[in-house]
Amino acid sequence: MSDVIETAGLWKVYEDVEALQGLDLRVPQGSIFGFLGRNGAGKTTTIKVLLGMARPTRGEARVFGQSPFDAQSGVDIRRRVAFVSDEKDLYDYMTVGEIIAFTRSFYPRWRNDLEQQYLRKFELAPGRVIRGLSRGTRTKVALLLALCRGAELLMLDEPTSGLDPAMAEDVLQSLVAHVGREASTVFFSSHQLSEVEQIADHVAIIESGQTVVSGPLDELRAQYQRIELVFEGDAPDIRVHAPGKHRVRRKGRVLTVLTGPPKGGPSQVNAAGSSHATAVVEELRGYRPTSIDVTPVTLKDIFLESVKTEE
Amino acid sequence: MRRQAPESTHAGFNTTGTLTAVLLYYISSTVVILLKPNPSSGVPIYLQLMEQVKHAIETGALKPGEQLPSIRPLAEELVINPNTVAKAYRELEHEGVIELRQGAGAFVSAGAATKKDAERLQAAQGLVAQGIERLRARGITDEEIRRLVEAELAGIRMGGRRE
Amino acid sequence: MLWHKAWLETRWRFIIALLILTMMAGSSVYGFIATQRLLPVLNANSGSVTVEATGLGEAIREAIELQKTFRGFVWYQAIRQNLTQMGVFFAILLGCGGLLSESTKGSALFTLALPVTRKRLFGARAGTGLAQWFAIAMVAPLSIVLLAPSIGERFSIVDALAHGLCVFVGGAVFFSLASFLSTLFGDVWRPLLIAIGIACAIALASFAAPQLAIFSVMNGESYFRYGTLPWTGLLVSAVLAMALLYSAAETLERRDF
């Protein structure tokens, strides 16, 4: 199956702000794709471009293999996509029931069965006006509107932001259930790295409008390792020569090395990358530390490593 | 000396604090307890799941021929990616631990763990318990013991010297 | 459902405008009675007052002359003053808002994610507004037809419809102007104030340059005086309104959100 979302060298310049600077992205069909980056890195801009809300300055973007900026194909794309914005803003003046009826009228593949199911599950009262709803309830309404469209692709900007942990788990659970039953793709941006680790099978990290890391999460993790060495005397000033990007920290007798895939190499992660980590461990053993500890690296470590500016 | 049931040392499980996450599955007459995987432990979720299934088989909680939970319901209950569950099951099948029968589901392989294996492992557990007691007697903490074991398994010799 | 949404977003504005303009037009009927009482006084004194033949003097004399008859009074007060002058303001008000102002409230992204073209979004909003303006332009003069008999006068339906049409087409130009400005500025105030400013500027300029006789078209002056509708003026106004709406749709199409 081809990729559901594809960008190549995507640039977007707003007046004097370069929001996207040559972004490359590939989202496989059927995946749950986590889109990570610091605030202002370009996540929301990317989503806007993919939905035809903003026109790219340069480069290519395709959804379902079509262009979002052509009037006709843009409509076709949006008929198959469900979008939930960061702020989850809806029409304040409508009631829950009214906005459901409104949205339903645009989607011939609307799922009435799912509508009933989520109304029950999310405990939504159709008569309530949206203006008076709490953020959590508004998120649930927005999610219902997205999940009932019969969409092949869900695009969510920070779906669990501002939600308490129980509600956040509800949201994640609905997404997971949806992917399982409806064979759709989920593309979501998030700051909650543990959530991304929980449900995503692919991730991309962007920084300053460019992709710094992207690929299957399991393969990505195999490429990073944290190695802690303790020496009898002060830790030596080590330069690691094995290929890959390495961050070395010395503190007294302890040396910590965080290894990653080669800098400047393809940001696409693949299974071959894990061999780099073993080579580094071999090299470090040669320094004869009194102890070597290899600890697993979390997505948070990988994220912080990828987006930190060079010191 | 009476052995205490050891705390789970499977990397990545947070046995404490997951009481609310303990889920009971009733599938025919099987009761299988599967804990929510820890996404931030650094250990891939599919590996954690595989370990859980293997552990269940070893302790006899899952017997050969019994059915495992289906992929989709399991993913929904644990709130993890269905692809991850599928991957875990595929790997388990690859290792011969389970069988995936078209249209029927996932079942523990007949040859997965025999009573002999269970006994073998029980004996092994005794050795581990003794080793742990001896290390503790030397004042080595549980955390240090865990790291020693992991480092040893990762193939790194202590002190950079070959023993 | 886009039209329904546009209706929900503009209904109060519409209802208020309809009520105010209809009431102003209708109540002007009762103002006629007061004027009738005033006239003998004016006639009695007009002999001693030398009204100069200047522009202003002419205007005053004409005003008095016109308001001696019911039909003239209605044209002068209700049509020329209320419906045209106040009407422009309400036409502008109806034309403000739309997708851009939604973005300040945040729901623009939800709307833009719908499987509809921007032209259709704009069309529903503009169409609803024009329909509302048409209703107002027609109902106000017709209310005069209904109320005139209560003071023993008559205002013909044909006159009401003719003036309604002129008010509609003339006002549509300002509606479209406000619509267009609303695709340039997202806030509530700028399109409103700029459009009003332009209307005032045209009003002032039309003294010097009678070609800018948009207000004369709107108040149907040639119909009142000579019985013929201002066809050229109506046509030019219609074309102008459509050009502005088209520009608005195009601007919206290109906009980045």
What are the tens digits of pLDDT across the range B58-83? 888 888 888 889 999 999 999 999 99
pLDDT of residue A35: 94
Query: Do B97 and B48 sit in the same domain of this protein?
Result: yes
Give the whole-angstrom CA distance, residue C162 versus residue A304: 72
- Strand-pairing partners, residue A153, are A81, A185
Amino acid at C1: M
- Domain A3-215, CATH 3.40.50.300 — does that match? yes
Q: Do A292 and B80 touch (CB under 8 A)?
A: no
Out of C1, C9, C117, the one facing A71 most closely (by C-beta) is C117
Selected residue with higher pLDDT from C227 and A48: A48
Question: Within a domain: residue B4?
Answer: no
Residues C161/C192, Cβ–Cβ less than 8 Å: no
Q: Do C257 and A53 touch (CB under 8 A)?
A: yes
Q: Do A89 and C110 touch (CB under 8 A)?
A: yes
* Per-chain mean pLDDT for chain B: 74
What is the number of structural domains in chain B?
2
Residue A286 pLDDT > 90: no
Question: Within a domain: residue B11?
Answer: no
Mark which residues 287-306 of A lie under 8 Å from B by CB.
287-300
Q: Could you tell me the pTM of the whole model?
A: 0.80
Question: Within a domain: residue B1?
Answer: no
Query: ipTM above 0.90?
Result: no
Query: Do B130 and B58 sit in the same domain of this protein?
Result: no
Give the whole-angstrom CA distance, residue A114 versus residue A127: 19
Query: Do B46 and B29 sit in the same domain of this protein?
Result: yes
Residues of C in contact with A54 (CB under 8 A): 256-257
Give the whole-angstrom CA distance, residue B29 versus residue B33: 13
Residues B83/B51, Cβ–Cβ less than 8 Å: no
Given B68, B89, B108, the domain boundary residue is B108
Dihedral of the alpha carbons of C232, C235, C240, C241, in degrees to the nearest 10 = 140
Domain containing residue B154: 115-160
Residues of A in contact with C5 (CB under 8 A): 91, 102
Q: Coil, strand, or helix at residue A235? A: coil
Residues A269/A223, Cβ–Cβ less than 8 Å: yes
Residues A270/A215, Cβ–Cβ less than 8 Å: yes
Nearest CA distance, C181 vs chain A (angstrom): 20
Q: Which of A8-12, B4-8, C6-10, C12-16 has the lowest mean pLDDT?
A: B4-8
Residues of A in contact with C121 (CB under 8 A): none
Structure tokens at C124: 């529903």
Domain containing residue C170: 2-254
Q: Do C110 and A53 touch (CB under 8 A)?
A: no
3-class secondary structure per residue, chain B = CCCCCCCCCCCCCCCCCCHHHCEEEEECCEEEEECCCCCCCCCCHHHHHHHHHHHHHHHCCCCCCCECCCHHHHHHHHCCCHHHHHHHHHHHHHCCCEEEECCCEEEECCCCCCHHHHHHHHHHHHHHHHHHHHHHHCCCCHHHHHHHHHHHHCCCCHHHCCC
Nearest CA distance, A287 vs chain C (angstrom): 56
Query: Do B94 and B140 sit in the same domain of this protein?
Result: no
Give the whole-angstrom CA distance, residue B45 versus residue B39: 6
Q: Which of A120-124, B120-124, C41-45, C191-195 has the lowest mean pLDDT?
A: C41-45
Cα distances from A131 to residues A101, A137, C12, C103, C125, in angstroms, run 17, 11, 17, 16, 22
Question: Within a domain: residue B145?
Answer: yes
User: What is the 8-class DSSP label of residue A9?
Assistant: E
Query: Do B101 and B23 sit in the same domain of this protein?
Result: yes
Q: Do A51 and C107 touch (CB under 8 A)?
A: no
Residues B93/B53, Cβ–Cβ less than 8 Å: no
**What CATH number is attached to the domain comprising B38?**
1.10.10.10
> Domain segments of chain A: what residues?
3-215, 223-307
pLDDT of residue B158: 46
Q: Do A89 and C106 touch (CB under 8 A)?
A: yes
Question: Within a domain: residue B7?
Answer: no
Strands (DSSP E) along chain A, which ranges?
Answer: 3-14, 17-28, 32-37, 58-63, 81-84, 153-157, 185-189, 202-207, 210-216, 225-230, 245-251, 254-260, 291-295
Map tokens 């790997």 to a residue. B91
Q: Do A177 and B76 touch (CB under 8 A)?
A: yes
Out of C5, C106, C114, the one facing A78 most closely (by C-beta) is C114
Question: Within a domain: residue B14?
Answer: no
The conformational region for residue A88 under phi > 0 = left, psi -120 to 50 = alpha, else beta, is left
Pairing of strands A210-216, A245-251: unpaired
pLDDT band at C89 (very low <50, low <70, confident <90, very high): very high
- Write out pLDDT tens, residues C142-189: 999 999 888 888 888 999 999 999 999 999 999 999 999 999 988 888
Out of C1, C5, C105, the one facing A89 most closely (by C-beta) is C105
Query: Do B45 and B122 sit in the same domain of this protein?
Result: no
- Write out pLDDT tens, residues B7-58: 444 444 455 434 434 444 433 334 456 788 888 887 889 999 999 988 888 8
Q: What ranges in C82-156 are assigned the alpha helix state H? A: 87-95, 99-105, 108-112, 118-147
Nearest CA distance, C180 vs chain A (angstrom): 20
Mutation pick from B14, B36, B79 vs chain A, by most beta carbons of A within 10 Å, is: B79
Give the whole-angstrom CA distance, residue A6 versus residue C202: 52
Helix H or strand E segment including C66: helix C55-66
Where b means 16+ CB within 10 Å and e means fewer, C55-71 reads: eeeeeeeeebebbeebe
Out of A89, A102, A107, the one facing C5 most closely (by C-beta) is A102
- Strand-pairing partners, residue A189, are A35, A157
Give the whole-angstrom CA distance, residue C218 versus residue C220: 5
Out of C5, C106, C256, the one facing A55 most closely (by C-beta) is C256
Residue A158 pLDDT > 90: yes
Amino acid at A169: E
Q: Is the dihedral of CA A115, A116, A120, A123 positive or negative?
A: positive
